[in-house]
Amino acid sequence: MRKKIVAANWKMNLTLNEGAELVNEIFKGLPVLNEEKKVVIAPPYLHIVQTGEQLAGMIDVCLGAQNCHSETSGAYTGEVSAAMLKSAGVEYVILGHSERREYFKESDATVAKKVNQALVNEMQVIFCCGEPLEVRDAGTQNDYVESQVKAGLFHLSDEQLKNVVIAYEPIWAIGTGRVASTEQAQDMHAHIRGVIRAQYGDEAAGDMSILYGGSCKPTNAAELFSCADVDGGLIGGASLKAAEFLDIIEAMAAL
């Protein structure tokens, strides 16, 4: 069954107190969600235990992380392993975000190793892909995203793939206020689903949740989520304000 998901990526924002307050505000306005609809909150590492305690016992709001390390453990000063995240109650790990790929030089191969770490530790992966502006302008975005999906996921078994969610985030739309049109989003999401279908078959493709990310806001969420192949959103800026994030959750709840 294909899940609908709205995931908050707080990135490097909010102090502990601000994070706790934001979660409390979200709780106050949270609509009732049915079983196939989930909210994920991915705060910075430092918040994870605190946010996890706030979310304890909630079924439809899950704890997420924004990253994990590609190795199991060892001398990697400043890093956090997938097993540590699992031990703190993390259910979803965002991997391959374009900011990680660009600023931290994460290659496709590194992202694939991180995917393995998250899956071995029984967490769900939110696998990010998306093209930069020059690729979109050249019209080669489908090939670009396809190669990211293949490099990051195609080594997985059918069973492992069931624990993966894909987030399409065109880099030119992240934090820029420029949003993909519904047609651009739907076209790419259908393409990604086709790529999954060709490798894993109809059922796996039908069950794959594909989220849209990149300046998703209350003003455009309902329209984006109404696309046949858009199954929710990965939300950056608008997830830092309870009222905006709740409006986006409402747009998913109404589906």
CB of 234 to ligand PGA, least distance (A): 4
CB of 239 to ligand PGA, least distance (A): 7
Using alpha carbons only, what angle is made at residue 20 by residues 251 and 8, rounded to the nearest 5 degrees?
Answer: 35
CB of 158 to ligand PGA, least distance (A): 28
Residue from 47, 69, 97, 191 carrying the catalytic annotation:
97
Other C-beta atoms within 10 Å of 57: how many? Answer: 6
Measured distance CA(70)–CA(56) in Å, rounded: 27
User: In residues, how long is the chain?
Assistant: 255
Pick 101 or 205: Cβ nearer ligand PGA: 101
What residues does 94 pair with on adjacent strands?
126
Pick 232 or 237: Cβ nearer ligand PGA: 237
Pick 205 or 215: Cβ nearer ligand PGA: 215
In 3D space, the residue among 195, 192, 189, 173 whose CA is nearest the CA of residue 227 turns out to be 189
Amino acid found at 241: K
Q: Indicate the DSSP class of residue 74.
A: S
Measured distance CA(80)–CA(71) in Å, rounded: 9
What residues does 164 pair with on adjacent strands?
125
- Asked if 97 is an active-site residue, the reply is yes
CB of 210 to ligand PGA, least distance (A): 14
Residue from 131, 169, 189, 244 carrying the catalytic annotation:
169
CB 51 within 8 A of CB 19: yes
Residue in the shown chain whose Cβ atom is closest to ligand PGA: 236
Pick 141 or 205: Cβ nearer ligand PGA: 141
CA distances from 173 to 16, 72, 170 (A): 28, 33, 6
Q: Tell me which residues touch ligand PGA (CB under 6 A).
A: 9, 169, 174-175, 213-216, 234-238
- Asked if 69 is an active-site residue, the reply is no
Pick 82 or 179: Cβ nearer ligand PGA: 179
CB of 9 to ligand PGA, least distance (A): 4
Catalytic sites, residue numbers:
97, 169
